[in-house]
Amino acid sequence: KKYQFNKHDPEGTHAFELTNLCDRAILGLLLGMEADNPGSMLDVKQSGKKLTVDEIRAAGWFEELPLDGEVVLKFQTKLRSTSAAPQPIDDNDLNNFLNQLKITKMSDRDRLNLTKMFCASYFFMSEQARMIIEAYDGSAEKMEAAVMLFFCVIDGHCAKTTMFKSTVEQDRFQHMLGAHAHYRSQNPTGRYELNLALIPDQMMAKNLVEAGIHEGGSRTWRN
């Protein structure tokens, strides 16, 4: 369930194991949101010990998290959601993501889980997606990651040729997308029948929800 964390709806009580890379990534996102919107992070406990935000700031958590221990906190943002058009991940968050993907002891399956988590919270440009999939060692997980990222790419019209230089990989990518290859996040008009048990359909549904929020669900969703 942690891989379903949504940066745009982070409220709730969260528990993190600091030896888990995905947990660390989510906690890092919440710390960044606390820095932008002070007072959102409440009731912080590390291994049962209560901590204030000032104490974790003094301990350097905003720069580098502790290596182990369990952290439990409540997050309650004061920011109201806006209807801004989807924007690609910013450079700081992208670099943070890439640095985590490049940890040598991380398996490609772990990288895929981390990519899924970031896809739930961010949009990307095709060039950013290319940088992400290049962090993968094996071709199978790399291609799975590319399919997930495709539905979060803003410039989908050039995704295939930007993400893959090899025509063999481009053809394989096209085959894995199937009919979904025609989807464009910036112009998603059409009728959809989605199977939410499938990752590509999950990513597409997430994109359609974002579009509905931006344009107004009453004007964009029918039947």
Of the residues 75, 100, 122, which one is the last residue of a structural domain?
75
Would you state the pLDDT for residue 186? 62
Would you state the pLDDT for residue 187? 66
* pLDDT tens sequence across 83-127: 456 789 999 889 989 998 988 888 999 999 899 888 877 889 999
Of the residues 46, 75, 104, which one is the last residue of a structural domain?
75
Would you state the pLDDT for residue 79? 55
Same domain, 134 and 209: yes
Percent of the chain with pLDDT over 90: 37
Would you state the pLDDT for residue 211? 66
Which one has a higher pLDDT value, 13 or 202? 13
Same domain, 63 and 100: no
Of the residues 75, 101, 120, which one is the last residue of a structural domain?
75
Sheet strands side by side (includes 41-46): 12-17, 70-75, 41-46, 49-51
Would you state the pLDDT for residue 1? 47
Same domain, 66 and 110: no
Same domain, 14 and 108: no
Same domain, 208 and 131: yes
- Asked if the structure places residue 18 within a domain, the reply is yes
Same domain, 103 and 210: yes
Cβ-contact 211, 188 below 8 angstroms = yes
Q: Which helix (H) or strand (E) holds 41?
A: strand 41-46
Cβ-contact 170, 133 below 8 angstroms = no
- Asked if the structure places residue 203 within a domain, the reply is yes
Same domain, 50 and 138: no
Same domain, 141 and 180: yes
- Asked if the structure places residue 82 within a domain, the reply is no
Confidence of residue 214 (pLDDT cuts 50, 70, 90): low
Confidence of residue 181 (pLDDT cuts 50, 70, 90): confident
| SS3 label, residue 105 | coil
Secondary structure letter of residue 88 according to DSSP: B
* pLDDT tens sequence across 126-148: 999 999 999 999 888 999 999 98
The answer, yes or no, to whether residue 56 has pLDDT greater than 50, is yes
What does the alpha-carbon distance between residue 209 and residue 217 come to, in Å, rounded to a whole number? 8
- Asked if the structure places residue 85 within a domain, the reply is no
The answer, yes or no, to whether residue 156 has pLDDT greater than 70, is yes
> How many domains does the chain fold into?
2
What does the alpha-carbon distance between residue 188 and residue 194 come to, in Å, rounded to a whole number? 14
- Asked if the structure places residue 83 within a domain, the reply is no
What does the alpha-carbon distance between residue 73 and residue 141 come to, in Å, rounded to a whole number? 33
Q: Which domain holds residue 14?
A: 2-75
Confidence of residue 220 (pLDDT cuts 50, 70, 90): low
Same domain, 106 and 155: yes
* pLDDT tens sequence across 20-32: 877 888 888 899 8
Would you state the pLDDT for residue 111? 92
Would you state the pLDDT for residue 118? 87
Same domain, 116 and 59: no
- Asked if the structure places residue 190 within a domain, the reply is yes
Cβ-contact 170, 126 below 8 angstroms = no
Same domain, 168 and 107: yes
- Asked if the structure places residue 126 within a domain, the reply is yes
Average pLDDT, the chain: 83
Query: Which pTM does this prediction carry?
Result: 0.60
| SS3 label, residue 75 | strand
Same domain, 11 and 115: no
The answer, yes or no, to whether residue 82 has pLDDT greater than 50, is no
- Asked if the structure places residue 86 within a domain, the reply is no
Q: Mark out the alpha helices in the chain (DSSP H runs).
A: 21-36, 53-58, 91-101, 108-119, 126-133, 139-150, 159-163, 167-177, 199-215, 217-220
